[in-house]
Chain A
Amino acid sequence: MILLTRIEEILLLAIWKLRDNAYGISIREQVEKDTGIGWLSGAIYAPLNRLKKNGYVAARPAKEQGELGGRPRIYYTLTDRGREELCVLQAMNRTLWSGVPSLRREVREG
């Protein structure tokens, strides 16, 4: 198994959370909301491209026409492989975080 990068993991999660409403803009905004920082488009779309090439993510055009009669908007969904990958990551994260001592600094008296 090839371990995904962090941004790839974040992207897969964002798409999963957005369900049927995952398209370019919404994915980026979801990532920004989840991480709390602004993201450059390149930093989002290059990994998205990679995820798509490697078969974790599939693209499909919307059934209705685009807003201005142009091309239909492209929506993204996780493939089975992408979903399995998330399961693996979830399990791994759980293992990683279990047994971690409290990170809060104890207030010392005196």
Chain B
Amino acid sequence: MPNVRASSPRKGLLSLLVDSDLAASIREDLNYQRSRDREKAGRAAAFIRHALRMAVTMGPLIAYAVSGGLFMIAATFRMARRSLAKHKAFSLINILGLSIGMAVGLFLVLWVQDELSFDTFHANASKIYRVDVDWNGRVSAMTPYPLGPALETAVPEVEAAPRVASLGTVVLRNGDKAFYQSDVRAVDPSFLRVFSFPLKEGNPATALDGTHSMILTESAAKKYFGSEDPIGRTVTMDGRFDFMVTGIMRDVPPNSSLRHEALVPLEFMREFGWYIDRWGSENVTTWVKVKDGAQADGVRTKLAGLYRSHFDPPSPNPSLVGLTTINLYASAQPGQAAQKIQTVRLFGGLAAAILLIACINFMNLSTARSAKRAMEVGLRKTVGARRGDLLGQFYGESLIVTGISFLLAIGLVFLFLPSFNALAGKSLAWRSFLRTDKLLAFAGIALLTGILSGSYPALFLSSFRPVKVLKGTLRMGTRSGVVRKVLIITQFALAVIVLVGTFVVLNQLRFLRSKSVGYDKEQLIYLSLQGETRSRFSAFRDQLARESDVVAVSGLFQRPTSFGSRITGADWEGRKPDQNPTVFYSAVDPRYVETMKIDIIEGRAFSFEFPGDFADEALINGSMARSTPEGSVANPANGFLINQELARIMGGKNLVGKRLSMLGAQGLVVGVMKDFHFQALQQKIEPLALFASPAHVRFVVVRLPRGRISEGLASVRKTWERVFPGFPFEFRFYDEDFGRMFQSETRLAALLRWAAGLAIFIACLGLLGLASFLAEQRTREIGIRKTLGASSSRITVMLTKEFFRFVVWGNVIAAPVAYLIAGRWLRGYAYRISLNGSAFALALALTLAAAVLTVGRQVLKTARVNPARCLKDE
């Protein structure tokens, strides 16, 4: 029988079911019977019998093994349940802390997954890039009109380079339904090929043909056409341009960084008057789709070459930004405190800190109980438990606690999802929670938590030597005490970091809110002029100025609370050759400074009494007939108002009357304005020049009388409807705009407040557990102290001091870390609070107060103990 052994596998199911001795016997027997069968019945029959015999042998062995395993699990579960029920307070504190920590972790996973899913729905997502341009440190996604076509013809790797231009806010009208429509974009036809924005109706290949076709999103179509079929119908823009609806697009998903409600062909921009066929302009976003198999690096080099050949050195530095990285890594937008990725890191750090605090609680409470459980461990070991069994028991216990906490955590997530959405500005649905990948991630978190928090007690408790424990020579509270102290100090340190962060953010927010914008922003509203209404601004202004309920009226070209246009190449008397500042500019109505209540430091404001202030009206009227494109105000202005920042660059003093030329126009400085914020308050005040040109006004600014705002608004509305019949009346308060600018800071502050509250709450839970444990352990010591003459108050002071020490150490350790983190965050702001001790002092006071409240009752109870009672069994 040469193949008796060779045919049997050494490893296999058998080895898992029984020990190696028995497995060897079974294999030997099965092979023996097989070879016997082979002699009697032949090879094939022997094989079949062998297989059958194997199966029926395994059956009972499997049944036995499984029943044994189940028995073990059931036993562990029963022991854990008993242990949990016996120490109700401990279990409650553990489960409460852990479930809160885990709920925070779950929210984080939900949030991060949502952020990571941005723009991934495009089929070509990995091949689409945006061209960003670095203008000597200022990075912009705005590129010149000719770039897209140049890329398509000059770079073979580029399949398509669709351009996207924004029309800003326009008035769209269908019959009597007219609205101010934002997010209207003009795009190249290849836009629909490159991006996956599917059309519900219409042909994507032809929908953007010609210059007057329009694609509406489903919700926009519903807004203008209700239940009617919009295809082939006409939409009027700004009362001047008629478009035919050629397609209906599915609504842009919320996780898209490109947003649009209506698309028109880019060629329309020529007619709209904003098409500038010059390389020097910055007007459109250029997207690049590289060909399959082509490398983006090749495109990068050629792109840089294109820029070098069209710009004088030092030419701006273009780069390609991957579509899917834009959401997380794109540089911060005005009114947004930081890049998304920084927010993701911040969220992650907070959630990890809270989860860690909860895990530490669990470890601390378990080790604190180790003195009590040492007896149990000793006894179990004496009756034959191996270390592995005890490890199993303790891990089992912690996994059961984690399991319960996990279920509770899911409940908490369910309960607080709406509040979280409000806090984080998200619209996460409960539905999306129940996806396999997410559930796996959650289970991973739960398992990790269980193992993390169960490890220390498991490894520590199971290592007890039974002899020492049972003889009572094992001294608790030396090594384990140190570890416990370190853990609880860590907990408080983490809580203090979050707390200091909260104070710093709140202070910075208060500082920004209370910071003067440089003009009186109360009772100030603005209205936007669209299309035809622009040419009748002067009439509107003059009629409105006559109303008694209106204090002052003016207007300007730029969006009132966030000026966008800037140029380089300004020249002035006495400019040094190396000076080439980027200067923001706006055309304004002469009474702008007066209406806004901006202070004039030197010289005077524009005035109708000085016709020389004005840009040449005749020339402007000539160019207005063709409509003036944004950013190319090429009309000579005769007077400039500059801000302090620009004045500083121009040499500081005595600037009135100096020659200044910019935007291709010559002029004289008539006055210097005190610096005011014409962009978000987070941003530095940049150099600014204003020139007087009522013909360029796109926004009307109106100051209403204090205390009679509604009367004032009624007057404005009446005048609007008289002058611009048929145009919807909409206005915005300056105040509202500023409120919106702080959205991300407000959100961060709210989030931090929650995080700080939870961190302190969980840390105090741990302190409470520890306090009650120590009180129990030290009653005897306190009894002796009292017998020897210590008063209750002395003992109270002694015990409180010890708990204070944890808190103070936590603060001491946290302070430098918090200082660094907060300092880094504050550096993102041009105007910021200085980091002083008050935030740290407040954090210390608050944590101390929380600690006193938590342990106070327990300490008093311990201190008041009757020595006779606790010492009677000595």
Assuming the contacts A42-B57, A46-B64, A50-B64, asked whether A28 and B29 have C-beta atoms less than 8 A apart, the reply is yes
Set B19, B24, B26: member contacting A71, Cβ < 8 A: B24
Contact B21 A59 (CB under 8 A): yes
Contacts of A25 in B (CB 8 A): 28-29, 32
Contact A23 B25 (CB under 8 A): yes
Within 8 A of B (CB), among A44-88: 45-46, 48-50, 52, 59, 61, 66-68, 70-71, 73-74, 76
Q: How far is the CA of A25 from the CA of B28 in the complex (A)?
A: 8
Contact B61 A49 (CB under 8 A): yes
Contact B24 A41 (CB under 8 A): no
Contacts of A43 in B (CB 8 A): 60
Residue of A nearest to B55 (CB): A42
Within 8 A of A (CB), among B724-747: none
Q: How far is the CA of A29 from the CA of B421 in the complex (A)?
A: 73
Assuming the contacts A24-B25, A49-B18, A74-B21, asked whether A41 and B30 have C-beta atoms less than 8 A apart, the reply is yes
Contacts of A68 in B (CB 8 A): 2, 4-5
Contact B57 A45 (CB under 8 A): yes
Contact B4 A45 (CB under 8 A): no
Residue of B nearest to A61 (CB): B21
Contacts of B24 in A (CB 8 A): 71, 73-74
Q: How far is the CA of A61 from the CA of B22 in the complex (A)?
A: 11
Quick check: is B482 within 8 A (CB to CB) of the other chain? Answer: no
Contact B5 A42 (CB under 8 A): no
Contacts of B59 in A (CB 8 A): 42
Contacts of A61 in B (CB 8 A): 21
Assuming the contacts A40-B57, A68-B4, A70-B5, asked whether A45 and B22 have C-beta atoms less than 8 A apart, the reply is yes
Quick check: is B53 within 8 A (CB to CB) of the other chain? Answer: yes
Summarize B's interface: helix, strand, loop or mixed: helix
Residue of A nearest to B30 (CB): A41
Contacts of B58 in A (CB 8 A): 42
Contact B28 A59 (CB under 8 A): no
A interface bracket (residues with beta carbon within 8 Å of B): 20 to 34
Contact A24 B29 (CB under 8 A): yes
Q: How far is the CA of A41 from the CA of B31 in the complex (A)?
A: 11
Q: Mark B291-335, 1 if CB is under 8 A from A, else 0.
A: 000000000000000000000000000000000000000000000
Quick check: is B56 within 8 A (CB to CB) of the other chain? Answer: yes
Within 8 A of A (CB), among B1-52: 2, 4-5, 18-19, 21-22, 24-26, 28-30, 32-33
Contact A41 B64 (CB under 8 A): no
Q: How far is the CA of A5 from the CA of B28 in the complex (A)?
A: 25
B348 to chain A, nearest CB (A): 49
Set B19, B21, B22, B56: member contacting A42, Cβ < 8 A: B56
Contact B28 A24 (CB under 8 A): yes
Contacts of A40 in B (CB 8 A): 53, 56-57
A57 to chain B, nearest CB (A): 10
Contact B28 A41 (CB under 8 A): no
Q: How far is the CA of A59 from the CA of B30 in the complex (A)?
A: 18
Contact A74 B25 (CB under 8 A): yes
Contact A41 B21 (CB under 8 A): no
Contact B60 A24 (CB under 8 A): no
Contact A42 B28 (CB under 8 A): no
Q: How far is the CA of A42 from the CA of B53 in the complex (A)?
A: 8
Contact B61 A45 (CB under 8 A): yes
Q: How far is the CA of A41 from the CA of B32 in the complex (A)?
A: 12
5 A-B pairs with CB atoms under 8 Å apart are: A40-B56, A45-B22, A52-B22, A68-B4, A71-B24
Known: A45-B61, A46-B60, A73-B24. 4 other contacts (CB 8 A): A28-B29, A41-B53, A52-B19, A74-B21
Q: Which residues of B contact A (CB under 8 A)?
A: 2, 4-5, 18-19, 21-22, 24-26, 28-30, 32-33, 53, 56-61, 63-64
Closest 10 CB pairs of A and B: A24-B25, A46-B60, A42-B57, A59-B21, A24-B29, A41-B57, A42-B60, A70-B5, A74-B21, A42-B56
